[in-house]
Amino acid sequence: MMRNIRIEVQKILHLPYLLLGVAGIIALCLTATGDMNVGGSQISIFSLLIRPEVTNTPHTAFELWRAGIGGWLTVFAPMLLTLGYMISLSGERQNGQIRFALMRSGKLRYCISKVCGGALAGGIIFLIGYAVFGLLMVIRFPSLNTLPVKEQEFYLMGSTLAAEVVKRLIGAFLYGMMGSLFGIGVAIAFRDKYMLICLPFMINYIYQQVLGKLASDCMVAEKYEKITWIEAVRPESIMNISRSVTWLIPFVVMLVIYLVLIGVFYLSMKLSTV
């Protein structure tokens, strides 16, 4: 089984798909808001990177690395993370390769390896992209250690910089897995290439808009406890690793959804003539 999953991951991480995904993640992180000017307009991290004089506020690499999760990244990431997966699965269906794969491994093992391979590949793509983005921040901006101790404590919250970086990288891998749910689910359910390209983006966009509307309504009604749970079910919240229930439940739900996708994929394979 592990060998099958490794093969699937290698297929999905074919160099052109890997480079496109990683480059896309880096570019989207750079479009996130890094600061606000005196007029209240947003200043992107990219603007701070090439023209640091646009703001008088000093920024550290760690601060901007964390700020990279937001904006257009949360909208387009699912499409970038599963592009290789969708192309791989679609190609196997069209050229008849899937028949040989089923003869070698069987339907259940094939479905498990496909879904698990897609999830792991999505995590790896986002991890690499986010890590490279972090390196750019380290090269261009001063370290968190240059700040006064009290300001460091504000960002680290009693932890160490090394521990927070490791947690952030693990969180990036988990976010890649979470973001891949949309594309993997669509690839299992649909075969039309236009649906495969558009639907993950559309589903994620609608999901984000619904959460935004719910959060706004709760803010108006001053139901702050509900806002906490709404924020917890945003895919990007899984990066904030903790022992709290608001992190553990979405993490468990993600694993359950992947199990459901394996089941749905297996049933569809049993009912289809391939």
**What DSSP state is assigned to residue 23?**
H
- Residue (of 76, 89, 78, 74) closest to 14 by Cα position: 89
- Domain extent for 185: 2-271
Distance CA 66, CA 29 (A): 10
- Record the tokens describing residue 137, joined without a space: 């921040």
The 10s digit of each residue's pLDDT in 30-77 is 999 887 776 667 888 888 888 876 677 778 888 899 989 988 898 888
**What DSSP state is assigned to residue 14?**
-
Cβ neighbours of 155 (radius 10 Å): 15
What is the number of structural domains in the chain? Answer: 1
The 10s digit of each residue's pLDDT in 203-245 is 888 888 898 888 888 888 878 778 888 888 888 889 888 888 8
- Record the tokens describing residue 67, joined without a space: 């700020």
Average pLDDT of the residues of the chain: 85
- Record the tokens describing residue 9, joined without a space: 């991951």
Backbone angles phi, psi at 58, to 5 degrees: -70, 145
Backbone angles phi, psi at 46, to 5 degrees: -60, -40
**What DSSP state is assigned to residue 31?**
T
